[in-house]
A and B are shown apart, each in its own frame.
Chain A
């Protein structure tokens, strides 16, 4: 089961083998796009239906942790891209360092996310759990604000779950890279996990403006 980049019989060239692996990853990411798209669609519809409550609810989320997390996550994409580069040019000492940097940035992101969730917990903004949007809020406002926060936790939670899976994949990549398994001839796992990591970054690039920035002014 240990692939090291030898040519499998169903391919004519190593290049074709590599392109096939990458194509397969993109097909998987297409399904991921549609998976998240369902949530984005739900968000769009409910936001159009209850624009005022969604706007008020969005404003209760602190801006700075979200903005900081955007910077952290894009930086982790940079170190991930550099990991791919290091594996392609055979920099075997640099590769684990870039992977560790990516892992640390990913963990920082999750830490800031946990801090934000704690804020919402203190403010009674977790749906269904002693939920109270603001003192004196009527039943309809509370119900619609819960809808916003359900989507907030659903979307950022699913995103965070992807980050946790990504972190697990990075730990595996790190172990294999320390064994010196990745070479300029064989680096498909680094490339494909890189694609996954960048995809998760893209989801956040859309979540950030939609959940934090709309009606901030």
Chain B
């Protein structure tokens, strides 16, 4: 049995970090960051969300300790998602260009 067992200590630490990030994302949303740079609010909100999601995938879902082929499936699904978002948005944004 060579499966990796993640200890409760790690789970509690990750939970703590996720709570801090939740607080930060709410706090950041109350501040008008767009005044400094247009769109900064959404960039900050999504960066925190991606960070939180990565922690959940890596530790709660054990991706950090998974075999390489499982990690490949995870990366592939994110990659496909990126293709859809990127290509659709690049079409949408560039339609007004002449």
Q: Do A26 and B74 contact each other (CB < 8 Å), given the known contacts A213-B45, A217-B31?
A: yes
Interface of B (DSSP majority class):
helix
Q: Do A41 and B84 contact each other (CB < 8 Å), given the known contacts A23-B73, A217-B41?
A: yes
Q: Is the CB of B85 within 8 A of A41?
A: yes
- Within the complex, the shortest CB–CB distance from A95 to chain B, in Å, comes to 13
Q: Is the CB of A214 within 8 A of B41?
A: yes
**Cβ contact of B30, chosen from A202, A209, A210, A216, cutoff 8 A:** A216
The CA-CA distance from A128 to B9 in the complex, in Å, is: 49
Using Cβ atoms and an 8 Å threshold, which residues of chain A touch B22?
Answer: 67, 70-71, 74
Interface of A (DSSP majority class):
helix
Q: How large is the interface on B (under 10, 10 to 19, 20 to 34, 35 or more residues)?
A: 35 or more
**In the complex, residue of chain A having the shortest beta-carbon distance to the beta carbon of B44:** A209
The residue in A26, A45, A74, A209 that gathers the most chain B C-beta atoms within 10 A of its C-beta is: A209
For the complex, is B2 an interface residue (Cβ under 8 Å from A)?
Answer: yes
Q: Is the CB of A18 within 8 A of B11?
A: no
For the complex, is A129 an interface residue (Cβ under 8 Å from B)?
Answer: no
- Within the complex, the shortest CB–CB distance from B60 to chain A, in Å, comes to 5
Q: Is the CB of A214 within 8 A of B2?
A: no
The residue in B57, B73, B88, B89 that gathers the most chain A C-beta atoms within 10 A of its C-beta is: B73
Q: Is the CB of B60 within 8 A of A77?
A: yes
Q: Is the CB of A34 within 8 A of B45?
A: no
The CA-CA distance from A210 to B43 in the complex, in Å, is: 11
- Within the complex, the shortest CB–CB distance from B74 to chain A, in Å, comes to 6
The CA-CA distance from A75 to B22 in the complex, in Å, is: 12
The CA-CA distance from A29 to B12 in the complex, in Å, is: 25
Using a CB-CB cutoff of 8 Å, which residues 1-38 of chain B contact chain A? 1-3, 5-8, 11-12, 14-15, 18-19, 22, 25-26, 29-34
Q: Is the CB of B92 within 8 A of A48?
A: yes
For the complex, is B80 an interface residue (Cβ under 8 Å from A)?
Answer: yes
B interface residues (Cβ-Cβ under 8 A, vs A): 1-3, 5-8, 11-12, 14-15, 18-19, 22, 25-26, 29-34, 41-42, 45-46, 48-49, 52-53, 56-57, 59-61, 66-67, 69-70, 73-74, 76-78, 80-81, 84-85, 88-89, 92
Q: Apart from A22-B70, A78-B11, A80-B60, what are 12 other A-B pairs with CB-CB below 8 Å?
A: A19-B67, A19-B70, A22-B66, A23-B73, A45-B89, A74-B22, A85-B6, A88-B5, A89-B5, A202-B56, A216-B30, A217-B30
